[in-house]
Chain A
Amino acid sequence: MSLCYCSAVELLGKLAAGAVSSVELTRCFLDQIAAHDGTVHAFLRLDGDAALARAAQIDQRRRAGQPLGPLAGLPLAVKDNLCIRGQPTTCASRMLEHFVPPYDATAVARLLQADAVILGKTNLDEFAMGSTTETSHFGPTRNPWDVQCVPGGSSGGAAASLAAGMTPLSVGSDTGGSIRQPASFCGVTGLKPTYGRVSRYGLVAFASSLDQIGPLARSAADAALLLQVLAGYDPLDSTSANIPVPDYAQTIGQPLEGLTVGVAREHFGEGLDAEIEVAVRDAVRVYQSLGAKIRDISLPHSKYAIATYYIIAPCEASGNLARYDGVHYGYRTDEPAMLAEWNAQRRQLDAAGDPRALDKLDSTLVRMYRRSRAEGFGAEVKRRVMLGTYALSAGYYDAYYLKALRVRRLIRRDFDEAFREVDVIAGPVAPTAAYRLGEKLDDPLAMYLGDLYTVSTNLAGLPGISIPCGFTRDSLPIGLQLQGPPMQEERLLRAAHLFQQATDWHTRRPPLTSTRP
């Protein structure tokens, strides 16, 4: 327990000084996981032996005085939609339950290059589609602050693993808030970088123009360490930005002179819980007290963000997920059973002498596609694939997809105009704190509306960070979102760090003694 809540910065110092070995540290986190993951279920897969072996190897290299990477010996966790060669990458889906990628995602390769020790893969909503981690085929993750509550999603496992002290750093992905919202629900820090800042190669795609890999940590300073390793141009990703990566760790402590914080009136409208509003406004006042100028701004098109997002993301998803058809890899329906069923139907139609019905009978190939997908995907994934397929269909494309692209540009323009006046935009991450498991599972629309404040960051391709800024009466964490101009992760990290120097919300720990569910 002692080291489990230490910051990554501190742990790296201890490792470098020889105060602790990577093996000891790895064991410490594995113990914490063993103690609490039965309740929390943050991890889908642990590879304790491999992690310890790797830790031992790094310890040995350190003793031998060999050069080591920036995260040498530090354990961390990776969301299970990032490919690691030779290890199952399930996306929390039955469809990919047995998929073992033959290659490393660029983000993973960079972590290994940095000599990090990967503890295991964290839980997520199936294919990162969801805001609660309840759509995981392998069961939900629970919020360490209240195990009856959801941890948020889709990087719910990543956020919960940090809140529960199971890892000092966690890699997540964010398509519409999937890093920031669970960070907010679990009281940790999560950064969604600018689109293109981190290579998507090896991230199993949900919505390609919105997906972005980013760090989750217990402080902005720790997030900076992880982003430093993840960020950078990758020739394997055409959409990755060929722009130098600043030294985040070096600049994080520098004060932001003359910081102007924008507050968008659209972020405080209908649907926002009063408790959240109070905490966020208090957080803005913290900035004011630190010398920042506060300016009211408007993002007039933000009211269309949800509608736009829930057109574009499903459209791209319907294409990205088409490959899961039972033919190449992943789940395939029980073929003998399927063939038996098909043959029986055919005989029946034959016997009935109905050539037209016989002609309409699907082929065995189509039947296999249908059954594999029907059985391999969960309800939320199907819902989004169907939404996207519909919106892209002939006759609907212009009204839905094309229109959504136009609105997307307007949303970006709102931000461009706002950032002429302000340095960062502060607001809520989500309209509520964590809610109870099952509460919104059957009401997808209510769940989608929870993405109100996060999706526009993705639509505009901007960086956004979520940091703890208070608690509800029920002792659930509340998050503050800071949004910045493209490629200004450095500014967000500094602003977040500034806040965390002045507050202690991010240092609070969940009780974790609560009864098992």
Chain B
Amino acid sequence: MQYLSYAVVLGGAVCAILGGWAYFRRYQVSRPPIGVFNLKDLALMVLFIILVPFLYLVLPTWLAAGLLLLAALSVLYFTWEPVLHARRATWLAVCALLTADLGTAFLLGVRSNGFFAVNDAVLVMVVVGISNLWAQSGMKARDAALLGAFLAVYDVLATSQLPLTSTLFAHLAGLPLAPLLSWDSGRGALGIGLGDLLLATVFPLVLRKAFGRSAGIIAMVLAPGAMGMLLALPLQGVFPVMVVLGPLMGLQYLFWRRYRGQERTTWQYFQEDPLRRRGQQLTPQQAG
């Protein structure tokens, strides 16, 4: 039965990565019309990563749950908007998803696999949305690699040296919309955190934009491969996944930077790798 947990969690991670990739080539999220994701945003993000766990720990449970709900609502809205177009349909889809998550949490309990199934699906959509918002807002491969490097160090401190991550998971795991992709096979739940999944999903996108399709595909294979190996190890407690993913991202970035040179901008990426609309014929060049 442990295999089932493994299959569900790894399958969920693969779904997020593939979903993010497919979304990236098909839909445009409503990014802010002015501004590009830059190093200052990265610094701010790092600050949030450091502070938000403490915030969640000190906030009353109802407020923490409210914040999770608000965040999920906004992310799911901008994720579904370019897919469904109509505002009413988008709101309907988002409300249905959140109702299902809250409903299963209250009716079946937050430790039930019924809840995990719904929550994992919602989490995959959230990851697809956030990773695309970052990548489509001009996040560079350099920024993602730097974030990965920082998280590799942070994860060691917060997860291995301090009880921060395990306390946080314990605190949030009892809430609907918990930021953990997990499955319980009866002998304890197996899971992977939202942050790890986000980095694993966004990196192939920014690599594809910066260095081309091959770079993206390799990243898309390496990340679930690494996660699969880690999940298969007989580890006890919480393991800092970014300790493996972070250096992997850094090495890939350095390789492609050396091999391909300067990163492409989004504009250059679209020039060289135009989006193919549904029903549009490939040019001989593209087909070749």
Q: Are these two chains actual partners, yes or no?
A: no
Query: Which A residues are within 8 Å of any B CB, using their own CB?
Result: none
Query: Which B residues are within 8 Å of any A CB, using their own CB?
Result: none
